Amino acid sequence: MILDYNATKDGHVTVNWPLAVFYNITDVSANNSYLLWIHCNFEWNARKMYRRCLYLEKLGILGKPQILLRKRLPRPLTSAYFVQKVQSEEQRTSQSIVQTKCIPDVNFATL
């Protein structure tokens, strides 16, 4: 039955299914944490219609220090240069986004 389905199905084959599963788990976890946060802190940005977006931005900011702790450059020099260039551009744009949106520094105790 499975072989017949696989032989006749339309669409694309997801080669990186572990990555797709990881993204799905991350997405579900972020949504669940948002629901718990809003349930416990129901007045947090209550008048804003985009508070889920604000929460996810702050959640992403919380993960940034862990990413920087595990920072490891690839071995080839060209790849290392490219990664450093992208990270420096990311840092500049994220600082300007934070300044334009007036997002305060994230505190682990408040989020």
- Over residues 78-103, mean pLDDT: 68
Q: Give per-residue pLDDT as tens, 47-68.
A: 999 999 999 999 999 988 877 7
| Residue 5: predicted pLDDT | 67
Assigned domain for 50 exists? yes
What number of CA atoms fall less than 13 Å from residue 110's CA on the CB side? Answer: 7
More confident: 64 or 102: 64
Range of the domain at 18: 2-72
Assigned domain for 106 exists? no
How many domains does the chain divide into?
1
Assigned domain for 38 exists? yes
Three-class SS of the chain = CHHHHHHHCCCCCCCCHHHHHHHHHHHHHHHHHHHHHHHHCCCCCCCCCCHHHHHHHHHHHHHHHHHHHCCCCCCCHHHHHHHHHHHHHHHHHHHHHHHHHCCCCCCCCCC
Q: Give per-residue pLDDT as tens, 2-11.
A: 666 666 666 6
Q: Give per-residue pLDDT as tens, 21-49.
A: 999 999 999 999 999 999 999 898 889 99
